[in-house]
Amino acid sequence: MSLDETIERLEKFVAEVRQASLVDEMTGLGSIIALSQEGRLISEAVSEFDVVVFGDLNDFKHLNDDHTHAAGDVALKTVGELMLRIFVGTFQGNAFRQSGDEFVILLKQDSVAGFLSSVPSFARIPFSYNNEGLETGMTFGYARSDGKTGFDDLLERADVACQFAKADGNAASEWTEHMKLNPLVRIGGRCRKCGAKISCNIPKSDAPRELKFCPCCGESL
Amino acid sequence: MNSSQEDTILGLPRRPRIADASASTILWAIAGGLIAGPVGVLVGGAAGNALANQRQPLEMAIREYFAKRGLELIFYYPAPRAFKATFRYGANAYWTVESVMPDGLPLSSEDSADWLYGNLIQNELPQVLPRIQRAS
């Protein structure tokens, strides 16, 4: 094989590896590498997308613990396919798996209303695993670009908004300045009677210094 | 222990040869780096060369087995003497099957892969497929 042929083969191989690295194998969505590339474009204000959505699965740990990690993988795949169909197919956005059960969707401002109307489809996503009917669900937070905030900060805002949505029992929340002024704080404890480990996220202004009662047995902590 | 030229190992069917795989599975295996070789020769069905005569890598053989039955291999979890495979049998319906070698079965790496494949298709899947057919 000549040197030219060897170089050509290597270039082809590198292109294939690069292409493969942009796709998340588990879900078929964009990978974290692809997200990083698109995020750079948002930070440079040259991306077509200007809304950053963060979503994660509800009680994913319980799904893994109660039904094995293979069932968790199936949940991720099922969610990924739904995201591809709705966010990418219908709303012409882009969707990525960031890590574990955390997903990022990039949209244009004019797709936000459509996104919000599709959120209920993600509240309960049923699937069958080993003949057992299971379901998973997602909660979202999103942040709109103001033209001066970088991608990493927008993603952090969307993540915070997602935590607020979970704390409030909503399917999706938009980031607001109020969330910055009164952030969620995590407090926790362990019940001396039943041993339950308890933690919750509460807006800082409402948070007690410590938990007073165990929600399982009502025992004073 | 057993000649890989025989079609069975300890009474279980061995993995099929690469030449017996469908073109789509061969392309999938090449794209996934499971096999390396001249695509045209393999897909064109020229089974005479050494590569085409080799047994399919375990993951490829399992994928091909499922595909022939209209099932899709979604996840493959290999282990030294076992594997798990999750397959899809409906739009949102999945099942995970497992093939595990018993302790004290002194087989070579190739024979182990054959045994795990044979155990899956002859012992494990026949317990699951009727339940799937009833459910769907």
pLDDT per residue as tens digits for the range A54-90: 999 999 999 999 999 999 999 999 999 999 999 999 9
Question: Cβ separation of A129 and B84 shorter than 8 Å?
Answer: no
Closest CA to B43 of B57, B28, B61, B63: B28
B70-80 burial code (b ≥16 CB/10 A, e <16): ebebbbeeeee
In this predicted structure, the answer to whether residue A156 has a pLDDT above a threshold of 90 is yes
Question: Cβ separation of B84 and A77 shorter than 8 Å?
Answer: no
Question: Cβ separation of B135 and A70 shorter than 8 Å?
Answer: no
- B76: nearest CA partner in chain A: A70
pLDDT above 70 covers a percentage of chain A that reads 93
Record the tokens describing residue A154, joined without a space. 């927008």
- pLDDT band for B46, please (50, 70, 90 cuts): very low
Q: Which residues from chain B sit within 8 angstroms of residue A26, using beta carbons?
A: 75
Question: Cβ separation of A74 and B84 shorter than 8 Å?
Answer: no
- B92, B127, B131, best to mutate vs chain A, most A CBs in 10 Å: B92
Q: Is residue B131 within 8 angstroms of chain A, CB to CB?
A: yes
pTM score, two decimals? 0.82
Question: Given this model, what pLDDT does residue A214 score?
Answer: 62
Question: Cβ separation of B74 and A77 shorter than 8 Å?
Answer: yes
pLDDT above 90 covers a percentage of chain B that reads 60
Record the tokens describing residue B127, joined without a space. 């317990």
Residue/partner pairs of A216-219 with CB below 8 Å, 24 or more apart: A216/A191, A217/A191, A217/A193, A219/A191, A219/A192, A219/A193, A219/A194
- B97: nearest CA partner in chain A: A130
Which ipTM did the prediction report? 0.78
- Greater confidence (B54 vs B95) lies with B95
Quote the DSSP letter at residue A204: G
Among partner residues A74, A126, A131, which is closest to B86 by beta-carbon distance? A74
